[in-house]
Amino acid sequence: MKSAAEGLEPADVNPAELRRTALILLGIIIVGGIAVTSAYLETAKKQKKDPRPAFLDEVKGHILLQRADGSVVNTIDIKEDLWLYYQTSFDNRDGHPERQKALALLPEEGVHQVKFFVDMDPNNEEDRAKMATLEAEPGVWKVAAKAKVLEKYLKSEIRFGTIPHMKDGRLIYDSSVAILKRDQPGEKHPRIHIRGEMYDFERAAREAVAREKPEEVQGYRENWFMRHINYLLNEGDPTEEK
């Protein structure tokens, strides 16, 4: 019985052909590398000229919000073009100083804020009474958010990563700020996107201290966060008819 290799002869190897094949493959690799690098540099160039932040996700769900003054609003009916969502607590409303510094830079008009109090339940009469004592701020909605349906909305739709919970007697929750932008015209209810990253000023401050570059904290607020805010405001509302 013949073996599988029996009767076979080794192929003739032509060194010139091998060199030519190797050169062709090397050329393809070099051309591909140049093309990829050029595309990357072109994209970076465009991004440098155009600071408009890309969207993180589309907000598809909407929800009824009960504000501190007792009024109820549906998020689908919000008319403002650009607004911020972030979480806080009733008992520690000034617990995020770096975030407060960033919010203090916002212009007086054009940006609407929705502040969710993660330790206040809109279905609890005592919590509603506490919320009613909060001082009104122009352009700021204060919403009790402890109810499960609101917690789910903030996590699944707004993408806050930290579920509010107690640790060592302290309430832990997401300190990020999300920028929401209505930016698709031609719809009965224009699409809303979360624009840019989730701006976490406390984390940025910690990282700047770790790198021994405290000046980066101010840069993160003013050169990153506010640059995006100002760009989106100057862009206007693309859903309005011209």
Question: Do strands 111-117 and 140-144 pair parallel, antiparallel, or not at all (unpaired)?
Answer: parallel
Cα 217 to Cα 142: distance, rounded to the nearest angstrom: 27
Choose among 150, 79, 163: nearest CA to 115: 150
CA distance 108 to 112: 10
Q: What would the DSSP string read from start to end of 8-23?
A: --PPPP-HHHHHHHHH
Domain boundaries, the chain: 56-92+105-197
Alpha-carbon distance of 179 to 110, in angstroms, equals: 13
Give the model's pLDDT for residue 8: 55
Binned at pLDDT 50, 70 and 90, residue 80 comes out as confident
Question: With 60 as the cut, is the pLDDT of residue 150 above it?
Answer: yes
Strands 111-117 and 177-184: unpaired
pLDDT of residue 161: 86
Burial of 39 (0-12, 13-18, 19+ CB in 10 A): exposed
CA pseudo-torsion sign 95, 96, 101, 102: negative
Could you tell me if residue 60 is left (phi over 0), alpha (psi between -120 and 50 degrees) or otherwise beta?
A: alpha
Q: pLDDT tens digits, residue range 10-59?
A: 556 677 777 888 788 888 888 877 877 776 666 555 555 566 788 888 88
Q: Inform me whether the pLDDT recorded for 1 exceeds 60.
A: no
**Cα–Cα distance, 119 to 219 (Å, whole number):** 32
Q: In the chain, count H helices and then E strands.
A: 7, 10
At the fourth CATH level, which superfamily is domain 56-92+105-197? Glutaredoxin (3.40.30.10)
238: helix, coil or strand?
Answer: coil
**Where is average pLDDT lowest: 17-31, 62-76, 206-220?**
17-31
Which helix (H) or strand (E) segment is 140 a member of? strand 140-144
Is 113 within 8 Å of 84 (Cβ atoms)?
yes
Q: What is the pTM of this model?
A: 0.76
Average pLDDT of the chain to the nearest whole number? 85
Q: Which phi and psi (to 5°) does residue 159 adopt?
A: 75, 25
Mean pLDDT of all residues in 57-64: 88
- Residue tagged 């859903």 (tokens): 239
Q: How far is CA 57 from the centre of its chain?
A: 8
